[in-house]
Chains A and B, each alone.
Chain A
Amino acid sequence: MASFIRPLETFSSDLQEIRRRKLLNILLLSLIYCALVGVVFALVSWLGLNLPNQLLLFGLCLYVLATSSIVYIINRYGSSRFASVLFLIFMGMGIILSDEASEIATGQTLLAFVPFVVIGSFILSPSVSFILAAIVSVVVTAITLALNLIPNPFVIITFFMIAFVSWLSARSFQEGLEDLQILNHELDRIAKMLVRRDLELTYSKEEIITEKGKIDSVVNSLVDGLIMVDEKERVMLINPKAKVVLKVKEEENVIGRTLSELTNLGYLKNLYEILGNKVEWTGKQYELQIGERLKRTFQVRTTPVVTKSQQIIGLLIILYDITREKEIERMKTEFVSIAAHQLRTPLSSIKWALRLVLDGDLGKISPKQVEVLESGYQSNERMIRLINDLLDVARIEEGHFLYKFSLVSLEDIVKKVIKSLADLISAKKIMFNFRKPEKPLPLVRADIEKIELAVQNLLENAIRYSKDGGKVIVDLNQEKENVKMEISDNGIGIPEQQKPQVFTKFYRGYNAIKAGTEGSGLGLFITKNIIEEHGGKIWFESEEQKGTTFWVAIPINPDLKYQN
């Protein structure tokens, strides 16, 4: 079959060209084969029939063979248009020569001309049918006139009608073909576009896979546990660390199941409980303690997963191991407790022992004995106070100093402290003046104990570092958003060069040491810390031998730090 088809094949990208060549080839080859058959037939029946008929047939077949071969070669290797025209010429000539003139004139050869016209419109162009019809009409009329006959108009009309029909068919055929060609181009274009799109898609898919691979490796190698749930509480992602921490087996598939469903697995129940038995972003941090023998503590943090359009599509749960931090915290607080205990125990023994003797519980003692024992007792008391200060400092450093906040009246605290220092004030004959506020002061959010300690410290300093008979003034008032306290004395003052160190640990002015006054040097360090932890500010002005004034300002609203 292929060998039959190959001669029909053409080499052209133009559909019309292809069609033309193919059509011509079909016609030619059919003619050639028929001619060959005819030749064979003529040869075979030479013996039985009239010589002229065989000769005619033989001649015709030879004519067809020869012309067809020429046109075939031109069609295959040259212009198909030229081949088509040539074919029509040969065909026309063949038809005319094969019939007698009279037959042509009367229209008997009409039939033979019909395929001539039709083929012309199909292999050249639709309108060619009219041209051919015209040519044939002219030729027939000429022959008719030459024979002195009247031309038959019906012949002409019929011819043109046939030409018309042929033209119509060929045209619609051609248009159909043109439409097909356009469609073909369009399909081509679409196909190319699809191929391109497909390539892009494949590339994008590869990129996505790569990115996903990166994310996966990051998530899987995270030191913290990570769980992601969607808005329906279904687990979307759980990294290996989370599984290990929560004792969920590797092979357990939790993806797609809700947290409330999974509470039978490992410690997921504990986690769910800690979150309040629901999955909601609260912005809070939680603590999860799990484990039987070896307890581990985890900080649980939640973060919403938000799309570009600000829609929350899920929640990220992060488990951060704080066991070590907790342990260190515990050790630090334990240390302070133990240190307090260890340092204070011998001191309390001494205190109690001396007190009992001094109180006469163990018998009467002489005034001289009292004097000596009393000074021992006082030294011991100093030691106790120093230890107290040291413990406070330790707690400050550790960040455990401030404890309980409540609404506090600074006026009450100042009054209380003044009362407790009454003995000291009268002993040094200090002229003490407390300038109360004009109108009641607003309450301040503070740690009562610590504020009291700070106030006591400042007042004690003012009294201790004043000479006997000196003056101490305490002023308490509201200034803008703060409660302000001013404590001034006319005592020994603070040396100029030492002013920068006033609030440092163990600072004691050299003039204070010289005057023989007691002090651990920790008081102002602790006081400053207390004031600042309340969001307040402490500052001073001083002149040696003239006196010192300290100011403390504490904001009423603790969320606002002190502003001048």
Chain B
Amino acid sequence: MSRDQHKKKIVLVEDEAILIKLLEDKLVSEGYQIVTARDGAEGLEKIKEEKPDLVLLDIIMPKMGGFEVMEELNKDEILAKTPVIIVSNSGQPFELERAKKMGVKDWLIKTEFDPKEVVEKVKNLIG
């Protein structure tokens, strides 16, 4: 039995290189299995492939943005159940509202939360 199978799988969708690196490292060190994607389209593919326990999703990305990814996920019955936390730098009230309506679990603004705090949120959600 591979140790990997007991690890929770997280798909991380983020276009900023340094942020992906920092977050990935932190999460891996906490014992999570991480799959990364650099844009929305890639992210959607990976989510469909990997069927993760959690998705950390950015909003403003090339090719396909975070909202569009969520729309696509919500179309599929099973995928719609995947918990999603938005990790973004924008955060206008109407955006938060919209995300909430789409079933997003949390919205974290990158300049307010550091990686340690992000990990805490993740732990609270999926253990």
Contacts and interface: CB of A to CB of B under 8 A. Distances in A.
A384 interface: yes
A359 interface: yes
Contacts of B92: 333, 336-337, 340, 395, 400
A3 interface: no
| Most chain A Cβ neighbours within 10 Å, of B22, B59, B116 | B22
Contact of B23 (A336, A352, A400): A352
Interface of B: 16, 18-19, 22-23, 25-26, 29, 59-60, 88-95, 109-112, 114-116
Contact of A355 (B25, B112, B115): B115
Contacts of A340: 89-92
A359 B116 contact: yes
A6 interface: no
Interface of A: 333, 336-338, 340-341, 344-345, 347-349, 351-353, 355-356, 359, 361, 384, 387-388, 395, 400, 403-404
A554 B4 CA distance: 57
Contact of B60 (A341, A348, A387, A395): A341
Nearest to B89: A344
A349 B16 contact: yes
Contact of B93 (A341, A356, A403): A403
Contacts of A400: 92
A138 B111 CA distance: 146
Contacts of B25: 356, 361
Contacts of B26: 356, 361
Nearest to A447: B93
A404 B16 contact: no
Given A341-B59, A344-B110, A403-B93, 14 more contacts: A333-B94, A337-B92, A337-B95, A344-B90, A344-B111, A345-B110, A349-B19, A352-B110, A355-B114, A355-B116, A361-B25, A361-B26, A384-B112, A387-B111
Interface SS, A side: helix
Nearest to A333: B92
A349 to B, nearest CB: 5
A352 B87 CA distance: 13
Contacts of A347: 111
Contacts of A404: 93
Contacts of B95: 337
Given A352-B19, A361-B29, A341 B94 contact: no
Contacts of B109: 344
Nearest to B118: A352
A352 B119 CA distance: 12
A349 B18 contact: yes
Contacts of B110: 344-345, 348, 351-352
Contacts of A356: 22, 25-26, 114-115
A348 B90 CA distance: 12
9 contacts: A333-B94, A337-B60, A341-B89, A341-B90, A348-B110, A351-B114, A352-B114, A353-B18, A361-B29
B105 to A, nearest CB: 20
A348 B22 CA distance: 11
A340 B111 CA distance: 10
Nearest to B110: A348
| Most chain B Cβ neighbours within 10 Å, of A344, A345, A351, A356 | A345
